[in-house]
Amino acid sequence: MHYMVLCYDSEDVVCAWTKEQEATAMEKLGVVRKKLKAEGKLVSTGRLMPTTAATTLRKGKEAVILDGPFAETKEQLLGYFLLECKSLEDAHACAKELAAASSSAGAFEVRPMLMFSPDGVNP
């Protein structure tokens, strides 16, 4: 079974970290990442840019793209697509294609990634 662990914290606080705090935090986490990798349990990991970098696509007859993160609380996080695109425009085009084929309402938040480690350990 695959499990996805979603990380929540205040980005105000995390963005205010100094370089040293950032390095310490990553180092501490790196130890566990390596351990879980060795146990064959960690698949991949990534870090998202702050929500200020997000745009949101509202599904519907005509998909609308809005600035900012997904902010509704009536809907829940159900899945994800990881895209590799040259530009935000390209990512939006892919998201629109996916939205058109989607059988549900709701929205896609499109958030650029700050870091993606396909094997969970190496950059």
Partner 1 sequence: MSDVAWMDAALTSSRPRAVATLLRYFRDLDTAEEAYQEACLRALKNWPTNGPPRDPTAWLILVGRNIALDGARRRKRQQELPDDLEADEEDLESRLDESHYRDDVLRLLFVCCHPELPATQQIALALRIVCGLSVTQIARGFVVTEAAMEQRITRAKARIHDADVAFEAPSAPERAERLAAVIAVVYLMFNEGYSATGNGAHVRAVFCDEAIRLARLLLRLFPAEPEVMGLTALLLLQHSRTDARLDGDGQIVLLEDQDRSRWDSKLIAEGLALLDKALRHVQPGPYQIQAAIAATHARARTASETDWRQIDLLYASLERISPSPVITLNRAVAVSKTRGAEAALDLIEPLAGKLSGYFHFFGVRGALLMELGRADEAKRSFDRAIALANNATEAAHIRMQIDRLSLRT
Contacts with partner 1, residue ranges (CB under 8 A): 10, 12-13, 15-17, 21, 25, 49-53, 55, 65-68, 71, 87-89, 112, 114-115
Which is nearer to partner 1, 32 or 71 (by Cβ)?
71
Which is nearer to partner 1, 51 or 117 (by Cβ)?
51
- Distance of alpha carbon 18 from alpha carbon 96, whole angstroms: 38
Which is nearer to partner 1, 38 or 46 (by Cβ)?
46
In the complex, the smallest distance separating the C-beta of residue 37 from partner 1, rounded to whole angstroms, is 22
- The DSSP annotation for the chain comes to ----PPP---HHHHHT--HHHHHHHHHHHHHHHHHHHHTT----EEEEPPGGG-EEEEPSSS-EEEES----SSS----------SSHHHHHHHHHHHHHH-SS-SEEEE--EEEEETTSS--
Which is nearer to partner 1, 85 or 121 (by Cβ)?
85
In the complex, the smallest distance separating the C-beta of residue 53 from partner 1, rounded to whole angstroms, is 5
In the complex, the smallest distance separating the C-beta of residue 25 from partner 1, rounded to whole angstroms, is 7
In the complex, the smallest distance separating the C-beta of residue 2 from partner 1, rounded to whole angstroms, is 27
Residue with tokens 């935000």: 88
